[in-house]
Structure 1
Amino acid sequence: MTKPGTNAREIAVDVSAGRISAVETAKAALARIEAAKALNAIVTIDPEPTLADAAAVDARLRAGETMALAGVPVVVKDNIWVGGWRVTQGSRLFSDFIAPQDAIAIERLRRAGAIVVGIGATSEFASKGVTTSQLFGPTRHPLNPALTPGGSSGGPAAAVAAGLVPLAIGTDAGGSSRRPPAHVGVAGFKPSYGAIPYGPGFAEPFFGLSVIAPIATDVGDIALAFEAMAGDDPRDPDSVNIAQDAGDISSLRIAFSPRLGLDVAVDDIVANGLASTVAHLAAAGLPIVQRDPVWPPGATEDAIMPLQHAGLAALYGDAFHRDPTAFDPDIARQIERGLAWSGSDVARALVASTSIAHAFATFFTDIDLLLAPTVPCVAWPLTQLGPDMIGGSPASPRGHAVFTPFVNHARLPAISIPCGCDAVGLPFGLQLIARRGQDRTLLRAARQIEALLQSQVRPPM
């Protein structure tokens, strides 16, 4: 067997040129997954349909078809439908559920030649900042098995970081596909809301927030996957076509916000690393100013969290009443809170969400690209919901997640790319945020910034 390329672009070129077959790339990925069982990043494999799909890709190539992702092995998060596969949302309620069809994004990936080789772990209903469930247990950090990769897309992120696959597909309703990539040292992209069609699939507790989110070792592979999945579809009324790339990065107005305008704690290693990164980019010629978004009074994650709790309660409150033990205790507490919120509580959370979106819109009237932290800390023990301390102060269970949720409520595109490590090599990320619909401009800027940082960011793997 010819040794394939290491990223999705190289693999697709090699498979398309006949230097290696799609069946061979699929078998190699399955072997890597088998060898990395202890990571618990992949919760379901099904070699028979995987190899059948790979053989079909080889046949399509022989027939003269061109495919942008020919033979690329992909892991899909365990809350996105892959037709004919078990997809559980990490929940005992869906432990035997077989997806009746592909989500539109997966349908498009397969049309582009990608091969699903496994289902990546998620926390129950993708509703926790760590990746663990009663159904499958904890997913472990590729650099240190005692640590968590974060969540809820910890399985897909860990699979990419460990080299099991070059590309994975997660979801992001509050940072779930930006924070885990930041913690394991890969790239994770949250598109504009609607840029990639969502569903068909499970009912979504994060109404109007969650997006399909590619995760890869670099921005080039993310851009390739995004182009394969993006574009409107009549089956998703929220799906839209987005703008083309706006031009060279030198024309962009770029701001840096060290704490995203929030009164929150950040570990010194992250704060200093981000400052060094921004100084490096400025020295390379990028016109960066320091500026914070201005948030409305009371704008905190607590103000918008009733939406998540109420969504979970609406979908699973009846099942919770029948058998609370069927749920992860942390999810059970969220459902209990959701059942207790009043209609006016939820309406106030919607008002807070809208005000956050308007604040971001105001910020982007004269700024094109915002640089900010993805996470305020590095990974922590997998037995905890979050680190005990951040920035020298006791941390709440959600203290690690402060820099990502507002982006979802504004429905903006954002990407996390690696920008440094702590003294023992645990990574953290730089978050790039743009106006809604400027996904392609954001990806181009991220790719150029990624190239500028190559000399100072050591790969964690």
Structure 2
Amino acid sequence: MQHAAISGSPHVPRLLPIGGELRACLIFSRLELMMQLYEDVITMSAREIAAAVNTGRLSAIDAVRAHLAIISERNPSLNAIVAIDSGKSLQQARIVDERIGGGECLPLAGVPIIVKDNIWVEDWPITQGSRLFANFIADSDAEAVRLARQAGAVIVGIGACSEFAAKGVTATPLYGTTRHPLAHSLTPGGSSGGNAAALAAGMAPLALGTDAGGSSRRPPAHCGIVGFKPSQDAIPYGPGFAEPFWGVSVIAPMGRTVDDCALLFEALTGNTPAPQRPLRLGYHPTFGIDAAVDADVAAAFEAARRRILAAGVEMDAVTMAWPEGTNEEVLMPLQHAGLAMLYGERWQHEPDLFDPDIGSQIERGLSLPGVAVARALDQSHRLRGCLDHIFAQYDLLIGLTTPCGPWPHDRLGPETIGGKPVSPRDHAALTPRFNHAGLPALSLPCGSDRNGLPVGMQIVGPAGADTFVLAAAAQFETILAGPVA
């Protein structure tokens, strides 16, 4: 790509009152130049866009215009972005160009970014995918959004999420269904399905999601992008909506490459890349969790693991023992009780306003005995200690992000995994425990299933080891992008 050829807004001589053929030719030339510019820009990484804007080879305005054009073209068939305000986006881009013109160098200069529909963005409609908040306009930025803007990022849209970010399919009564970018009959997963679908479709290089149980790892795994759940509290959370997922939800960078996720994480936290040193790696496809796995998904993971081994990276098979009784069924009362606390009364009086699937969760939360919530809190706490002995032996753990590929968008989950009938939450079995433990975890594309759809590898580290997770993921990404031996 010849980035050096890109220089601010495309210009042609001012059109004078001349002959129609020459005028049409000049108009066509300008359109052709604009289209070439847009095609170049949308293939650039976030780091490449920032470098081009900082050096004056590209304006923030043109970077944003290019992505707004792609959003206009591709979003209608996916319903990935639920709020667009080109005026606000272009005004923010102008401010970035003025800052660059004034001598600033910004780490995310002019980089288009999508923000999930449960993170506050000042003066934008943010609804959590709920009719309860259909008319809500945020009166301030979440701190992560403020930091992204400060670093030069430009918000180009709000990504769809399931209501209250509380289920694994991105579909709501307020905005409808979000579709998988590679197979429109399927779901990208949830709850950050809008972000994942939009990034995979080229609508932006970066997004901010949330992750309370895998919401910004599983959709990236299904869509073939990168989703990074940092350590608990590594990125500021709020101001924003009341959070039903006590102490386990995080702000999560999402991108098309590991390097772009690392760039966003650094801009939000100041954490620089980890120093290079040999890492002790352990692996287990399901992290020792008793979960059904589709054979083709398991095969894709194993093929990727062998390619990484062939490149000289060593990893040991590990045995993992989880506290007895730890499973999704035991932990889910925390989510259900949190939703019931926040929205139970409204549900009882106006159930028609809610997604029925979320209403069912609220109803379960209202009926829970205190001992069930206490048991969930106890198990959540035990998960943190359970992994300490593993990370005394290994720096990072490697396994699958999801046990299956995407499924039809009108279902909560696949009917079977690994040839066995499963519950609607079994597709999510491999991610939530790391939320409860407060650990950093990243989903990296690692191959394809039998339908040619992406499969994700999950890389997990101890609390605070975010930059080591990112460094290992970047190394694996390079290996997997190379030729197959």
TM value normalised by structure 1:
0.95
Partner of 2:197: 158
Could you list the per-position Cα deviations for residues 73-116 of structure 1 after superposition, in whole angstroms to 9, with x for gaps in the alignment? Answer: 00000000000100000000000100010000000000010000
Q: How many residues align?
A: 445
Alpha-carbon contact 1:131-1:152 (below 8 Å) kept: yes
Partner of 1:115: 154
Partner of 2:315: 288
- Spell out the pairing of 1:97-136 with structure 2 (5 A cutoff): 97-136=136-175
Instruction: Tell me the SS of whatever aligns to 1:365.
Output: helix
Residue 191 (structure 1) aligned to one of 221, 230, 242: 230
Alpha-carbon contact 1:70-1:112 (below 8 Å) kept: yes
- 1:402 and 2:429 matched: yes
Residue 276 (structure 2) aligned to one of 245, 248, 252: 248
- Spell out the pairing of 1:216-365 with structure 2 (5 A cutoff): 216-230=255-269, 247-249=275-277, 251-365=278-392
In the TM superposition, residue 245 of structure 1 has moved relative to its aligned partner by: 5.4
Letter in 2 for 1:183: H
The alignment's C-alpha RMSD in Å is 1.2
Could you list the per-position Cα deviations for residues 326-356 of structure 1 after superposition, in whole angstroms to 9, with x for gaps in the alignment? Answer: 1100100000000011222111100011111
In the TM superposition, residue 258 of structure 1 has moved relative to its aligned partner by: 1.5
Could you list the per-position Cα deviations for residues 129-184 of structure 1 after superposition, in whole angstroms to 9, with x for gaps in the alignment? Answer: 01010000010000011000000000001010000101111100000000000000
In the TM superposition, residue 455 of structure 1 has moved relative to its aligned partner by: 2.4
- 1:12 and 2:40 matched: no
Alpha-carbon contact 1:294-1:363 (below 8 Å) kept: no
Partner of 1:238: none
Instruction: Tell me the SS of whatever aligns to 2:398.
Output: strand
Residue 78 (structure 2) aligned to one of 36, 39, 45: 39
In the TM superposition, residue 422 of structure 1 has moved relative to its aligned partner by: 1.8
Partner of 1:75: 114
Partner of 1:58: 97
Q: Tell me the distance in 1 between the aligned counterparts of 2:279 and 2:425.
A: 33
Letter in 2 for 1:175: G
Alpha-carbon contact 1:74-1:117 (below 8 Å) kept: yes
In the TM superposition, residue 247 of structure 1 has moved relative to its aligned partner by: 3.5
Alpha-carbon contact 2:301-2:455 (below 8 Å) kept: no
Residue 428 (structure 1) aligned to one of 443, 455, 475: 455
Which consecutive unaligned segments of at least 5 residues does structure 1 have? 232-241
Instruction: Tell me the SS of whatever aligns to 1:348.
Output: helix
Could you list the per-position Cα deviations for residues 404-461 of structure 1 after superposition, in whole angstroms to 9, with x for gaps in the alignment? Answer: 000000000000000011233111100000000010111111101111111268xxxx
The more displaced of 267-276 and 140-149 is: 267-276
Letter in 2 for 1:428: V
Q: Tell me the distance in 2 between the aligned counterparts of 1:265 and 1:424.
A: 19
Q: What is the percentage of aligned positions where both structures have the same residue?
A: 54
Q: Tell me the distance in 2 between the aligned counterparts of 1:172 and 1:277.
A: 25
- 1:442 and 2:481 matched: no
Instruction: Tell me the SS of whatever aligns to 2:70.
Output: helix
Alpha-carbon contact 1:71-1:114 (below 8 Å) kept: yes
Partner of 1:367: 394
In the TM superposition, residue 32 of structure 1 has moved relative to its aligned partner by: 0.9
Alpha-carbon contact 1:76-1:120 (below 8 Å) kept: yes
Instruction: Tell me the SS of whatever aligns to 1:418.
Output: strand
Larger radius of gyration: 2
**Runs of at least 4 residues of structure 1 off by over 2 A?**
1-5, 244-249
Evaluate the alpha carbon distance shift between residue 456 and residue 313 of structure 1 in structure 2; reply closer, same or farther with a 3 A threshold.
Answer: farther
Alpha-carbon contact 1:293-1:359 (below 8 Å) kept: no
Letter in 2 for 1:282: L
Could you list the per-position Cα deviations for residues 252-299 of structure 1 after superposition, in whole angstroms to 9, with x for gaps in the alignment? Answer: 110011121111110001111111211221121112000032101111
